[in-house]
């Protein structure tokens, strides 16, 4: 059974700091990995999707990397801003699970002005 873990559960940083969020998964037979952002009381917004054949994806100040063999992904946020404060979730799609995603519990990020 695929399990996804995110560390840390919560993170508080001063504005302008670069930071890394971690995601690990137990079954390396994944199809892709997706990073989402969730604001309080809201749905999820897709940030980056990395296919299993890719090593990283970038969008603006965000960079996500994938090491499939070690079961790890990181989300790097450069020059953090208070508007980045949210919960960040990663989710993996297994090769054999069709469209099903397995989610981590999320990292709650607070960026202090």
Contact positions vs other proteins (CB under 8 A): 4, 9, 31-32, 34, 36, 41-46, 49, 51, 89, 91, 93, 98-101, 103-106
- Percent helix, strand and coil across the chain, each to the nearest 5: 5, 60, 40
Sheet holding 4-7, edge to edge: 4-7, 19-25, 72-77, 62-67, 56-59
User: Could you tell me which of 75, 79, 76 has the C-alpha nearest to residue 90?
Assistant: 75
Query: CB of 25: closest distance to other proteins in angstroms?
Result: 12
Q: Helix or strand or coil: residue 71?
A: coil
Query: CB of 56: closest distance to other proteins in angstroms?
Result: 15
Question: Quick one: 3 or 15, whose CB is closer to other proteins?
Answer: 3
Question: Quick one: 68 or 93, whose CB is closer to other proteins?
Answer: 93
Query: CB of 49: closest distance to other proteins in angstroms?
Result: 5
Query: CB of 31: closest distance to other proteins in angstroms?
Result: 7
């Amino acid at each position: 059974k695929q399990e996804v873990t995110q560390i840390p559960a919560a993170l508080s940083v001063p504005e302008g700091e670069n930071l890394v969020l971690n995601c690990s998964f137990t079954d390396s037979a994944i199809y892709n990995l997706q990073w989402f952002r969730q604001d309080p009381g809201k749905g999820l917004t897709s940030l980056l999707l990395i296919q299993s054949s890719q090593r990283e994806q970038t969008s603006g100040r965000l960079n996500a990397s994938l090491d499939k063999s070690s079961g790890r992904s990181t989300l790097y946020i450069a020059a953090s801003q208070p508007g980045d404060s949210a919960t960040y979730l990663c989710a993996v799609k297994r090769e054999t699970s069709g469209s099903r995603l397995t989610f981590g519990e999320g990292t709650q990020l607070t960026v202090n002005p």
